[in-house]
């Protein structure tokens, strides 16, 4: 029985939620310190940290790594400790279903109103992480854990995976052949930010079924008949499909965030440890830095201040760098294209070569984008992530699609370059050449993405452990132990997980999906099989992403979320680009189609898109009603909290409405 199993029935538990089945105490967080025995300083810091942790009621078990160069602190706390801090920090927990299922601010005196497994593994880690980083005046420890890692005083700080919960998710999610993921269980283990990513991936994958069913026979018909009329109809269909999907996803987001109580999530973002500037009296608001220099009473309230004008100057310098990178990738792509024009026998390999070029340039540019974004000196993680997303997606959009735009809108016009007239391959069919190019790039990138996400992190951690094994055997040999008698101590669970890479965030995952969405929708007339290929890939992707989260990286810290962030407006922009691109393809592939008709179709589709945005509000009426009902039962539950033996407030008929 896993902790996650209990989430299905909030009243059921067959063991203490703070104990593993074996009876061993749960370790919520792992701290890993370097141990070089170079002097008292490192020991003093480590011992001072242990004392401060234990002074506020947490419990620390320490152990050496198997080769003795690291010290592990395994941190846990009793249930009463979590209750106290949950009340102190005003955490909201969900009431039992019979009390309405609403989220209310936790009070110890009302503990009986909440499910027995309220303090799940995720909630314990969320509370503990906050206590580590809250200032001492707010009853925390006041440690900036990322800063300690950056200074080298701490090597790792991560929540420990729960083996039973991992096994439950592998059996009921990874190995499950259903199209649906247990999203609530995923959220209960990883938090809302990761839960929303898998909700997006599931929704997108399910929506690919319809264009896959339509696209397969159309692809067969293209090969047999080469009829561009059906291709044009499919272009219109995919333009409407993307608009409808985007509308559906916004409403789906509202449903998930309502169920998970993160619709109006507000969090004071912490300052990045890499952020630098001058100490100045003042504080940060939504509008920026508010100076208190003119008031002597508040001189002690200081923050790191970095002037906006300095960052704007850096933007001015970074923009040409990004543009230069775009010029390089455009030049490189056209170099490959012109090589195919001049050297005829190179043509069959043009698509595969371009796909490899895209992968290499994406990898090179990612280092450039990270370097210049670091240099821009952003204060919060959100600001940093948004700046990095803008640079990365803009580059990868151009890098991924430039050759396709060239074939569709330049080569098809028959221009002359280097004394040679541009002619499409396959008997002059630009649509067929576009199909081969798109299929080559799409499929190669798809396979590379799966390998990169799963194999590389796994082998990285495996090599790290094997190198440590070899180091220990060599040390034993140096001490005179015969090689046939040398042995290696089995690695403990905390140490094994410390060898795994840190959670890299979701940017690359979202980026991969939106680039894929572009391949599926922007040039749908050329390759109607793209939705089916994407569907099959995503069915695997849901599992490989799950395995990556559960097995090949450290367990992520808790992060809440009310939406998917900057990817939402990017998706909205892509739906507009999709309409423009597909209308352009229709104009170029249908000889009888006039320019005026193309403009008219384009305006009709754009009008339909914006009307859908207006008609279907992001917050569905059923969610609005469910919110009102939850609030109603919440008030009644709290009013009756201390009456003896309260009767259930909610009938079976109400439960479906409240829990959607």
Tell me the three-class secondary structure of 507-558, residue by residue.
HHHHHHHHHHHHHHHCCCCCCCCHHHHHHHHHHHHHHHHHHHHHHHCCCCCC
Mean pLDDT over residues 614-637, rounded? 72
Placement of tokens 């290929």 in the chain = 533
CA distance linking residue 209 with residue 220, whole number of Å? 17
Q: Return the half-sphere exposure (C-beta side, CA atoms, 13 A cut-off) of residue 489.
A: 13
Q: What is the mean pLDDT of residues 610-632?
A: 75
DSSP 380: B
The answer to whether residue 168 sits within a structural domain is no
Question: What is the rounded CA–CA span in Å between residue 401 and residue 526?
Answer: 13
**Structure-token match 């249930």, residue found:** 79
Mean pLDDT of the region 191-211:
95
In this predicted structure, what is the pLDDT of residue 100? 75
Hey, which of 56-65, 95-104, 414-423, 435-444 has the most confident mean pLDDT? 56-65
Q: What angle do CA 654, 656, 660 make, to 5 degrees?
A: 125
Confidence of residue 581 (pLDDT cuts 50, 70, 90): very high
Q: Where are the beta strands (DSSP E) in 380-467?
A: 416-417, 420-421
Q: Where are the alpha helices (DSSP H) in 3-120?
A: 3-6, 40-55, 79-88
pLDDT surpasses 50 at 133: yes
Pairing mode, if any, of strands 302-305 and 416-417? unpaired
6 exposure class (CB count in 10 Å sphere: 0-12, 13-18, 19+): buried
**Within a domain: residue 651?**
no
According to DSSP, the residues that pair with 29 across neighbouring strands are 75, 159
Cα 494 to chain centroid, rounded = 24
Q: Is residue 243 part of a domain?
A: no
Are 23 and 68 contacting, i.e. CB atoms less than 8 angstroms apart?
no
Cα 347 from Cα 344, distance rounded (Å)? 6
For residues 384-388, average pLDDT: 92
Neighbours of 58 (CB within 10 A): 22
Q: What is the model's pLDDT at position 65?
A: 85
Record the pTM: 0.85
CA 10-12-14 angle, to 5 degrees, is: 140
Cα dihedral sign, 236-242-248-250: negative
Element spanning 303, H or E: strand 302-305
Higher per-residue pLDDT: 173 or 593: 173
Q: How far apart are CA 558 and CA 236, in angstroms?
A: 41
* Phi, psi (deg, nearest 5) at residue 31: -115, 130
Cα three-residue angle 75-186-182, rounded to 5 degrees: 150
- Identify the band that residue 12 occupies on the pLDDT scale cut at 50, 70 and 90: very low
> In this predicted model, what pLDDT tens digit does every residue of 427-461 receive, in sequence order?
666 778 888 888 888 888 888 887 777 677 667 76
| Helical axes 381-409 vs 430-478, angle rounded to 10° | 140
Question: CA torsion sign, 250 to 254 to 260 to 263?
Answer: positive
Cβ-proximal residues to 64 (8 Å cutoff; 6+ apart), any chain? 35, 70, 71, 72
Task: Please choose, from the candidates 445, 433, 425, the residue with its C-alpha nearest in 3D space to the C-alpha of residue 408.
Answer: 433
3 state SS of 421: strand
pLDDT computed for residue 399 by the predictor: 92
pLDDT digits (tens, 9 = 90+) for 69-83: 889 999 999 999 999
Could you write out the three-class secondary structure of 578-616?
HHHHHHHHHHHHCCCCCHHHHHHHHHHHHHHHHHHHHHC
Q: Is 7's pLDDT higher than 60?
A: no
- Across the beta sheet with 278-285, the strand order is 288-291, 278-285, 302-305
What is the mean predicted confidence (pLDDT) over 91-104?
A: 83
Instruction: Quote the pLDDT of residue 341.
Output: 63
Domain boundary (145, 160, 175) is at 160
Q: Report residue 550 as tokens.
A: 């559960």
Q: How confident is residue 2, by pLDDT bands cut at 50, 70 and 90?
A: very low
pLDDT at 272: 80
The segment with the largest mean pLDDT, out of 26-30, 66-70, 210-214, is: 210-214
Q: Residue 94 phi/psi, 5° resolution?
A: -85, 130
* Top-confidence residue, 617 or 515: 515
Per-residue pLDDT tens for 344-381? 555 557 778 888 899 999 999 999 999 999 999 998 88
Would you place residue 288 in the very low, low, confident or very high pLDDT band (cuts 50, 70, 90)?
confident
Structure tokens at 21: 């089945």
Is the residue at 204 inside a domain? no
Give me the helix-helix angle, 507-521 and 228-259, nearest 10°: 150
CB 581 within 8 A of CB 523: yes
Per-residue tokens: 194: 């990761």
Residue 383 backbone dihedrals phi, psi, to 5 degrees: -60, -45
Q: Please indicate, yes or no, if residue 627 is contained in any of the structural domains.
A: no
Domain that holds residue 134: 3-160
Mean pLDDT of the chain: 82
| Best CA proximity match to 103, nearest among 268, 266, 258 | 258
Residue whose tokens read 């790290």: 464
Confidence of residue 393 (pLDDT cuts 50, 70, 90): very high
> What sign has the CA pseudo-torsion 594, 600, 606, 612?
negative
Beta bridge partners of 105: 92
Structural domain tally of the chain? 2
Coil, strand or helix: which one is 417?
strand
| β-pair partners for 290 | 283
Residue 314 region, left (φ>0) first, then alpha (ψ -120 to 50), else beta? alpha
What pLDDT score does 655 carry? Answer: 43
- pLDDT above 90 (res 644): no
Residues counted in the chain: 660
In terms of C-beta distances under 8 Å and separation of at least 24 residues, what long-range contacts does 204-210 make, across chains too?
204/245, 204/249, 204/513, 204/517, 204/538, 205/179, 205/535, 205/538, 205/539, 205/541, 205/542, 206/179, 207/241, 207/245, 207/248, 208/520, 208/531, 208/532, 208/534, 208/535, 208/538, 209/535, 210/241
Number of helices and strands in the chain (H, E): 22, 11
Which residue from 327, 390, 317, 403 is spatially nearest to 358, judged by alpha carbons? Answer: 403
């Amino acid at each position: 029985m896993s902790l996650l199993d209990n989430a299905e029935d909030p009243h059921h538990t067959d063991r203490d939620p703070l104990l593993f089945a074996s009876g061993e105490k749960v370790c919520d967080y792992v701290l890993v310190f370097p141990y070089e025995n170079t002097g008292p300083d490192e020991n003093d810091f480590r011992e001072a940290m242990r004392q401060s942790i234990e002074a506020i009621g947490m419990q620390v078990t320490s152990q050496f790594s198997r080769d003795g160069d690291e010290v592990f602190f395994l941190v846990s706390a009793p249930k009463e400790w979590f209750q106290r801090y949950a009340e102190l920090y005003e955490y909201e927990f969900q009431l039992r279903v019979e009390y309405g299922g609403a989220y209310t601010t936790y009070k110890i005196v009302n503990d009986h109103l909440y499910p027995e497994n309220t303090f799940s593994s995720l909630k314990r880690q969320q509370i503990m992480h906050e206590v580590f980083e809250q200032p001492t005046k707010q009853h925390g420890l006041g440690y900036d854990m990322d800063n300690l890692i950056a200074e080298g005083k701490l090597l790792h700080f991560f929540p420990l995976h729960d083996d039973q919960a991992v096994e439950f998710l592998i059996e009921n999610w990874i190995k499950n052949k259903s199209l649906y993921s247990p999203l609530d269980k995923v959220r209960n283990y990883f938090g809302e930010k990761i839960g929303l990513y898998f909700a997006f991936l599931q929704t997108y994958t399910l929506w690919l079924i319809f264009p896959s069913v339509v696209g397969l026979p159309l692809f067969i018909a293209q090969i047999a008949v080469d009829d561009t009329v059906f291709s044009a109809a499919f272009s219109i269909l995919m333009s409407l499909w993307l608009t409808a999907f985007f509308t559906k996803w916004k409403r789906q987001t509202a449903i998930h965030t309502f169920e998970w109580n993160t619709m109006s999530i507000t969090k004071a973002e912490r300052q990045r440890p890499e952020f630098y500037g001058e100490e100045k009296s003042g504080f940060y608001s939504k509008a920026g830095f508010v100076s208190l220099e003119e008031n002597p009473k508040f001189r002690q309230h200081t923050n790191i201040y970095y002037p906006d004008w300095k960052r704007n100057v850096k933007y001015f310098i970074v923009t040409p760098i990004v543009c230069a990178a775009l010029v390089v990738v455009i030049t490189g792509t056209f170099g490959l294209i012109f090589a195919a024009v001049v050297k005829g026998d190179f043509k069959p390999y043009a698509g595969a070569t371009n796909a490899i070029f895209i992968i290499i340039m994406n990898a090179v540019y990612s280092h450039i984008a990270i370097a210049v974004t670091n240099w821009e000196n952003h204060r919060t993680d959100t600001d940093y992530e948004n700046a990095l997303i803008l640079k990365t997606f803009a580059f990868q959009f151009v890098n991924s699609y430039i050759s396709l735009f060239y074939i569709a809108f330049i080569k098809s016009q028959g221009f002359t370059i280097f004394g040679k007239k541009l002619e499409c391959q396959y008997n002059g069919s630009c649509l067929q050449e576009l199909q081969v190019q798109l299929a080559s790039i799409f499929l190669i990138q798809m396979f590379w993405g799966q390998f990169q996400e799963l194999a590389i992190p796994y082998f990285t951690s495996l090599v790290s452990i094997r190198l440590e094994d070899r180091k220990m055997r060599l040390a034993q040999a140096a001490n005179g132990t015969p090689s046939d008698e040398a042995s290696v101590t089995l690695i403990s669970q905390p140490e094994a997980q410390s060898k795994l890479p840190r959670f890299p965030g979701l940017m690359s995952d979202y980026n991969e999906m939106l680039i894929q969405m572009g391949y599926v929708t922007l040039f749908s007339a050329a390759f109607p099989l793209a939705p089916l290929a994407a569907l099959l890939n995503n069915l695997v992707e849901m599992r490989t992403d799950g395995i990556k989260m559960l097995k090949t990286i450290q367990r992520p810290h808790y992060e809440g979320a009310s939406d998917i962030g900057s990817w939402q407006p990017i998706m909205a922009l892509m739906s507009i680009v999709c309409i423009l691109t597909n209308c352009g393809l229709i104009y170029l592939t249908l000889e009888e189609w006039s320019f005026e008709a193309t403009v008219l179709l384009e305006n009709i589709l754009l009008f339909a898109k914006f009307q859908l945005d207006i008609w279907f509000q992001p917050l569905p009426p059923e969610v609005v009603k469910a919110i009102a009902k939850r609030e109603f039962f919440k008030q009644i539950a709290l009013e009756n909290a201390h009456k003896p033996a309260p009767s259930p407030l909610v009938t079976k008929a109400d439960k479906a409405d409240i829990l959607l």
